[in-house]
Amino acid sequence: MKEIAGYLPPGFGDNLDYQTLSFQRNEESIQITIPLLSENQISNLAAQIKNNSQRVLKLFTVNQIINIIDQTIAVFLDRSSPFRQKAEKLLPVITGYDKEIIRLGLTSYLKSFRKPQLYRFLTEDFNNPMLLDEFQPRPKGGFSKAVGLDLLVHIWAGNVPALPLWSLISGLIVKSGNIGKVSSNEPLFAGLFVKALVEVEPRLADCIAVIWWKGGDHARERSLWSQADGVIGYGSNQSLSSLREHIPITTRFLPFGHKISFGVVSKISLDSRKAIQTAHNAALDIVRYDQQGCYSPHFYFVQKGGRITPREYARMIGHELACFEKRYPRQSLSLAEMTANTAWRNREELSIFLETSKEIMSDPSGKWAVVYEENTQEIIPSCLNRVIKVVAIDDFEQIVDFVVPFRSLLQTVGLAASPQELFDISNILTKSGVTRITALGSMTSPESGWHHDGRFNLLDLVNMVDIEQRAEEYAERFAPYVD
C-alpha cells in the first residue's frame, strides 16, 4: 500500500523530490511518500507561508478559527469519515500500536479540541480572548493586542500518534503561519489533519505546510530558521540541545524534551474494593502507547498501612497488565528498545541478591514487568514498554527524596488519594518540580488548557503590543473636535 503524506500549499514548487518511508506490521506494509524540499524550496515556502499569515490568516477572528478547528475535529471524530478511517487503518501499521489502542486513543485525544474545550484552552491564557483580534483596554490604562508570530515552525516527535495537534492548533489559534516537520516514525497524521482542515476552510490552504527532512540536516534547517519567528521542538534532550545551537538567538525557541512522570497511591485507596480499580487505572496509564509519552509513569509510590499491602498491589498491577496484553498487545520493539529492556531487567534481577525484599513479576515472553521494592535508597527510571517499578513508602515526604535527582525532568503525577490528601500531597509535590497532578488512569490524557511543562500554551506564541495611556492622551491634542 502506498500513501502520500505531508501537505504543501496548492501549486507550490516544481520539480519536487520525494522520500519514501517504509513501515511493516505483521503481514501489512505501507510506503509513505513525503515531499523532500531543497534548501531554496524551503526558503521560498517559508516566505510564502509568512506572507499569507499576514495577508490571510490574521484577518480571521479567533471565533472563526475555533469554529474551523471544531469542524475539522468533528470530521476525525466521525468514524465513517474517510479521514478517520484512513487514520485508524494506517496508524497501527506505521506505529506498531494495537488497533484498539489507536482507535480509543484518538477519540479521547481529539475530544480535547472541540469548541468548548478550545474556548477553555483560550481563556486559560487570555482573560480577554478579544486581545487576539483587536486592541483591548487595560486596567492600568491604555490598550493592548496579542499578535501571533508570523511564522511558527514545529519539529514534531513520532512517539505518540497525533501529538502534533497540540502545537499546530495553538499556532492556528494565535493566527500564526505554520510549517511542521514530521518524524520519520509517524509522518502521516499531521498532513492528514491539515488536508481535512483545508477542506473545511479553503482560505487556509496557503497558510500551512507539513514537510519532512532527515534529522540533523543543518543546511535545510538553516534555510528555515533564518525566516522563522518561533520554533517549537519535541524530541530527546540531545536532539533539542543540537537544535538550540543552530537556531538564531533572535528566534523564539520552545523545547519540550524528555520527561519523567510517576504515580502516587495512598493507603486510603488500598482496601479490597478500591484497590482493584486503582490497579486497573494504574495499568491503563502504563499500557496507553506503551509509556512512550512524557506523561506516562516510570514508577508508582504506594503507601504502606492499607488493607492491601504495596507488594500485593504490585501483583495486582501485574495481573492487570497480563489482562491488557491479551486485549491490547504491546507493540513490537526495535533492536535498541529490546537492548534497553534486557539491560534494565538484568540489572533488576541481579540486585535481588542484595535486596531480599525485592520481587519481580513478569510475562514469560517479556511483554510486561512489575518490579516491587521496599527499603530502597534510590530508583532508576523505567526502560518503558510496559515495565514499571512499585516502591513502598511510609509517608509522602519520602517521595521528594526519591525524585530529587530528576527534578528538571519531572512532569505528571497520577494520584489516588482522599480529597484532603489531594492538596496535602500536591503541596509536597510542588517541592519536587512536578507541573501536573491528575487522577490515576488519566495521566496520558491532559485536559484542555493544561500548562505544558508548567508553561503557557498560547502566551509564549504571541507578542503583546501596548498603546500606552500617554499616547492616547497625547492623540487627543490632534483630534478634529479640539477647540
Q: 165 CB contacts (<8 Å, ≥6 apart)?
A: 109, 110, 113, 193
Give per-10-residue mean pLDDT for the chain (483 aa). 94 87 91 95 96 96 98 98 97 95 94 95 93 95 96 94 92 98 96 98 98 90 93 92 92 95 97 94 97 95 97 98 96 90 86 78 93 90 95 96 95 97 96 95 90 91 96 94 84
Contacts 24+ apart (CB under 8 A), 82-91: 83/192, 83/193, 83/195, 83/196, 86/3, 86/192, 87/161, 87/162, 87/188, 87/189, 87/192, 90/1, 90/3, 90/30, 90/188, 91/161, 91/186, 91/188, 91/189
pLDDT at 418: 97
| pLDDT value, residue 354 | 66
CA distance linking residue 191 with residue 200, whole number of Å:
14
| Cα–Cα dist 246/62, whole Å | 33
- DSSP of 290-337, one letter per residue? GG-STTSEEEEEEESSSSS-HHHHHHHHHHHHHHHHHHSPPPPPPHHH
Long-range contacts, stretch 61-64, CB < 8 angstroms, 24+ apart: 61/133, 62/122, 62/129, 62/130, 62/132, 62/133, 62/173, 62/175
Strands 387-393 and 369-373: parallel
Classify strands 208-211 and 177-181 as parallel, antiparallel or unpaired.
parallel
Whether domain 2-258+451-467 has CATH 3.40.605.10: yes
> Do 224 and 213 touch, CB atoms closer than 8 A?
no
Q: Is the dihedral of CA 407, 410, 415, 418 positive or negative?
A: positive
- Cα gap 54→57, rounded to integer Å: 6
**268: closest CA among 313, 232, 326, 298?**
313
Return d(Cα 290, Cα 368) in angstroms, integer. 10
For the domain covering 260-439, report its CATH number: 3.40.309.10
Predicted confidence at residue 1, as pLDDT, reads 85
Task: Indicate the domain borders of the chain.
Answer: 2-258+451-467, 260-439
pLDDT score, position 482: 85
Domains 2-258+451-467 and 260-439 agree in fold: no
Amino acid sitting at position 315: R
Alpha-carbon distance of 132 to 147, in angstroms, equals 6
DSSP 446: P
Q: How many CB atoms lie within 10 A of CB 412?
A: 26
